[in-house]
Every structure is written in C-alpha cells, then in structure tokens.
C-alpha cells in the first residue's frame, strides 16, 4: 500500500531539509539566525499549517537535528532535555503556529549560544585544528576562511575573531606565512622553477607570488634563491 505525502494548504512535508538546520546550528550567526530560520520555515509554508500533527512533524526534525549537533558541543541529552523538554513533552508548546515558531527560534538561538560558549572555552584547541587543516591544505587555491570554518565547526565570522584573538593576526596573514615559509624551503632545497614553486604553494599567479614573497622577506624569489647558492641554469622566470 503506497502512502502519499501529507499535504495541507500547499505545504509538502517532503521538502523539509534538515541539512539546512544543521548548517545554521554549526555555522550560523546569532544575529541573523531568526531571519535564516524564517526563510527555512517559509520554504515549507510552515505558517499555513493548522494541524498539530504536522507542526510536531516539523519540530521533531528540527529538535533531532539540534540534539545531534549540540552533542558535538558537549551538551548532554539531560542538559538539552532540561532546557527544551523531551520529544514526548514538547507537544504542549506547539498548540499554535506562533507558539511553535517561537519555540523553534528559542531552541535555535540557545543552541548557537552553546556553540559560541563551547568555542570560547576551547578556543586554543579549535585554533590548533584550524592550523592543522591549513598546514595540510595550504597548496589548494580554494582554501578559505569559510572552508576552514566548516572544518572546525564554526561560523567564518567567529573563526576570524578567534584567529585574531589567539594568533594576533588574521586568517589570510597566517595562510600567507605558511605558503611563503614552504616556498623558502623549496627555493633552498630544490632546483624547481620559481613559477613551479609558486604554483606548488598555492599561488596561481606568479607575479602576485613574487610581490607577496618580496613583501614578506624583503627579497624577490630569485634573489633569495641566489643568496642560498641555488640558481638553476635553466631558470627562466624572474
């Protein structure tokens, strides 16, 4: 026997996307989380729902996602239930569309606060994790504050602030330091063309690499290489 999706006032519950909720919880900003959640709810025409059963269906998805994500922040099942109730208990908060929406907003905001608090308490560990990711991926042209933030489970805005606080310099400055340090190693120990080294450490524009290298070291790549007595006869780039 086949089961058709439950439809009510053009709301199709098949369109619920819990990945968006998890993304909001892991990377979203507290200042904009209400707006983002409203967009999510609008996509499933949530405010058209008059059925408690369907509201509960939506809330269960959000609740389960929130519980799963906050466990990564060190929030126990008991702590989560004490703040929001168990799945069996929350139906009393969902009697109207407005009360349901406010419950969801409150839950999302608190979960993001937990994430922020966890990051503040474990800032040094998170920075170590971010640095390890950058050390392993500096040669990738696409590495960014956003991709690194996703890896460590923070919003880009928060990781940027944490980086400045813990490292006394911003993300881009630290990434550049990694790339130039590796370029110096290669200039000292290999006979690769300078343009090849630029590409290998994450720069796709050789001239830009040369500018950044000189800014960081006070020398052009060629001059640096000559000073350490490695000057390949076939070097064609300057």
For residues 100 and 55, is the Cβ–Cβ distance under 8 A?
yes
- Encoded tokens for 189: 């120990």
State the burial class of residue 139 (Cβ atoms within 10 Å of its Cβ: 0-12, 13-18, 19+).
Answer: middle
- Highest mean pLDDT among 85-99, 144-158, 166-180 belongs to 166-180
Instruction: For 79-130, write each residue's pLDDT tens digit.
Output: 999 999 998 888 888 888 899 999 999 999 999 999 888 877 777 888 999 9
For residues 172 and 215, is the Cβ–Cβ distance under 8 A?
no
pLDDT of residue 90: 85
Q: Is the Cα torsion angle 21, 26, 28, 31 positive or negative in sign?
A: positive
Half-sphere exposure at residue 135, Cβ-oriented, CA atoms within 13 angstroms: 6
Which of these, 96, 72, 95, 70, lies nearest to 83 by C-alpha position?
A: 70
Q: How far apart are CA 221 and CA 186, in angstroms?
A: 11
pLDDT of residue 95: 83
Domain-wise residue ranges, the chain: 7-121, 123-168, 172-227
State the burial class of residue 29 (Cβ atoms within 10 Å of its Cβ: 0-12, 13-18, 19+).
Answer: middle
pLDDT of residue 15: 63
Q: pLDDT: is 209 or 156 the higher one?
A: 209
pTM: 0.57
Q: How far apart are CA 63 and CA 84, in angstroms?
A: 9
Instruction: For 200-238, write each residue's pLDDT tens digit.
Output: 999 999 899 999 999 999 999 999 988 876 444 444 444
Task: For residues 141-166, give the mean pLDDT.
Answer: 88
Res 154 pLDDT > 70: yes
- Encoded tokens for 78: 């008991």
- Encoded tokens for 39: 């967009």
Q: pLDDT: is 78 or 45 the higher one?
A: 78
Instruction: For 7-53, write each residue's pLDDT tens digit.
Output: 444 455 556 688 889 989 988 889 999 999 999 888 888 888 778 88
pLDDT of residue 174: 95
Q: How far apart are CA 35 and CA 30, in angstroms?
A: 10
Q: Which residue has the tokens 């006869």?
A: 233
DSSP 8-state code for residue 5: P
Q: How far apart are CA 187 and CA 194, in angstroms?
A: 8
pLDDT of residue 191: 84
Superfamily of domain 172-227: Homeodomain-like (1.10.10.60)
DSSP 8-state code for residue 204: S
Beta strands in the chain (DSSP E): 7-8, 11-12
């Amino acid at each position: 026997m086949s089961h058709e999706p439950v439809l009510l006032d053009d709301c199709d519950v098949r369109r619920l996307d819990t990945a968006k909720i998890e993304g909001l919880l892991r990377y979203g900003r507290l200042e904009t989380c209400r707006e983002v959640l409203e967009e999510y709810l609008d996509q499933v025409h949530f405010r058209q729902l008059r059925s408690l059963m369907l509201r509960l269906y939506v809330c269960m998805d959000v609740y389960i996602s929130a519980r799963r994500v906050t466990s990564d922040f060190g929030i126990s099942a008991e702590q989560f239930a004490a703040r929001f109730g168990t799945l069996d208990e929350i139906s009393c908060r969902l009697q109207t569309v407005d009360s349901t929406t406010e419950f969801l907003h409150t839950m999302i905001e608190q979960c993001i606060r937990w994430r922020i608090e966890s990051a503040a308490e474990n800032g040094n560990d998170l920075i170590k994790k971010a640095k390890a990711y950058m050390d392993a991926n500096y040669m990738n042209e696409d590495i960014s504050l956003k991709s690194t933030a996703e890896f460590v489970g923070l919003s880009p805005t928060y990781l940027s602030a944490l980086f400045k606080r813990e490292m006394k310099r911003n993300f881009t400055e630290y990434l550049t330091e990694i790339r130039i340090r590796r370029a110096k190693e290669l200039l000292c120990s290999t006979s690769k063309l300078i343009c090849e080294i630029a590409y290998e450490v994450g720069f796709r524009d050789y001239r830009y690499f040369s500018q950044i290298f000189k800014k960081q070291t006070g020398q052009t790549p060629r001059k640096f290489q000559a000073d350490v007595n490695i000057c390949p006869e076939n070097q064609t780039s300057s």
